């Protein structure tokens, strides 16, 4: 009994922070998540202005934004978790994509320039929707910042105004930039991405093409400017092979060909972004 006493304060905190255990609508697995979906959405809302600023600001081009958002919505509609998914393009030349808690998803101009087709775009957005649907970012923040701090930030985010919102936002953005998804989370997000893009009518081999594009552009992980996506999204040959096996198993009739050709809408989006700026590519 004496041995249990030191555990009590922590246990009480956990008990007071219900709803605690939830079931993932995407995978059916039980998860320890101590914040509600409303709190999660509020966290994302408070963090988004600072995150956008740190990633170079929103790209000021209505066509680029609405094109990416339309592909994102098409994929997100297939998710088992109903959240207010939103998609935005930020100007950073560093290839990256990330999802805030609550469903705000960002992709950088640098990543859009590196891709070859809409299937790859659907794959990366599907992957990020997968992270939200299976609550990887909330669980990652809980692991990294501690469940108590995340619960406090989540509670503070709801109805926050002025200085409180900015302070909460800064802490969440700091957490997001240090967030490291587990290998299992990455494989799961790839699998969910394939599921959502295929349901939306995209060739699921887009996921394989996307991972190959990322690997090629990263120069095997050594190229400068790639630390961020490699940090938040570990990329290995095994992961590409696993994606290929998964697509082959789930979609035996799909063809690996046909995902490398850009259609007019995708090409127009890339033209409007313009070429990758010279002498940039450092972390934003």
Q: Is 135 in the site for Zn ion (CB under 5 A)?
A: no
Nearer to Zn ion, 168 or 195 (CB): 195
Q: Which two tokens stand for residue 74?
A: 């098409």
What is the closest distance, in whole angstroms, from the C-beta atom of residue 205 to Zn ion in the complex? 19
CB 189 → Zn ion: shortest distance, Å? 5
Judged by beta carbon, residue 86 or residue 165, the one nearer Zn ion is 86
Select from 34-42, 140-148, 192-200, 225-233 the region that touches Zn ion (CB under 5 A): 225-233
Q: How far is the CB of 70 from Zn ion (least distance, A)?
A: 22
Contacts 24+ apart (CB under 8 A), 253-258: 254/198, 254/203, 254/204, 254/205, 255/203, 255/205, 256/205, 256/208, 258/203, 258/205
Min. distance of Cβ 73 from Zn ion in angstroms? 20
In angstroms, the CA 56 to CA 271 distance is: 19
Q: What strands, in cross-sheet order, belong to the sheet with 97-99?
A: 86-90, 104-108, 97-99
Residue with Cβ nearer Zn ion (124 or 198): 124
Report the nearest approach of Zn ion to the CB of residue 183 (Å): 10
Stretch that binds Zn ion, among 84-92, 111-119, 193-201, 229-237 (CB under 5 A): 229-237
Residues 149-178 contacting Zn ion, CB under 5 A? none
Q: Which is nearer to Zn ion, 141 or 189 (CB)?
A: 189
Only one of the segments 47-55, 115-123, 167-175, 183-191 lies at the binding site for Zn ion (rule: CB under 5 A); that segment is 183-191
How far apart are alpha carbons 200 and 190 in whole angstroms? 15
Q: What are phi and psi of 253, to 5 degrees?
A: -90, -5
What is the rounded distance in angstroms from the CA atom of residue 24 to the CA atom of residue 266?
33
Near Zn ion in 232-261, by CB under 5 A:
233
Q: Give the count of residues interacting with Zn ion (CB under 5 A).
A: 2
Shortest Å, Cβ 229 to Zn ion: 9
Q: Site residues (CB under 5 A) for Zn ion?
A: 189, 233
């Amino acid at each position: 009994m004496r041995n249990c006493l030191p555990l009590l304060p922590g246990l009480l905190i956990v008990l007071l922070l219900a709803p605690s255990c939830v079931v993932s609508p995407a995978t059916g697995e039980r998860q320890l998540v101590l914040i509600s979906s409303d709190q999660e959405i509020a966290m994302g809302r408070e963090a988004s202005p600072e995150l956008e600023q740190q990633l170079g600001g929103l790209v000021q081009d209505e066509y680029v934004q609405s094109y990416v958002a339309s592909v994102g919505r098409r994929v997100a509609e297939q998710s088992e978790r109903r959240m207010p998914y939103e998609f935005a393009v930020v100007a950073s030349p560093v290839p990256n994509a990330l999802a805030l808690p609550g469903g705000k998803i960002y992709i950088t101009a640098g990543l859009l320039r590196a891709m070859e087709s809409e299937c790859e775009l659907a794959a990366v957005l599907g992957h990020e929707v997968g992270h939200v649907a299976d609550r990887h970012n909330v669980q990652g923040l809980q692991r990294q910042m501690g469940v108590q701090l995340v619960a406090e930030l989540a509670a503070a985010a709801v109805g926050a105004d002025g200085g409180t919102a900015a302070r909460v936002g800064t802490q969440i953005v700091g957490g997001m930039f240090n967030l490291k998804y587990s290998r299992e989370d990455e494989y799961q997000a790839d699998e969910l991405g394939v599921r959502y893009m295929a349901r939306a009518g995209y060739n699921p081999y887009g996921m394989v093409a996307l991972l190959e594009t990322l690997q090629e552009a990263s120069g095997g992980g050594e190229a400068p400017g790639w630390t961020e996506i490699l940090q938040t999204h570990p990329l290995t040959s095994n992961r590409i092979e696993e994606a290929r096996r998964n697509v082959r198993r789930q979609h035996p009739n799909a063809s690996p060909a046909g995902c490398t050709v850009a259609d007019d809408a995708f090409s127009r989006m890339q033209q409007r972004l313009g070429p990758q700026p010279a002498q940039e590519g450092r972390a934003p």
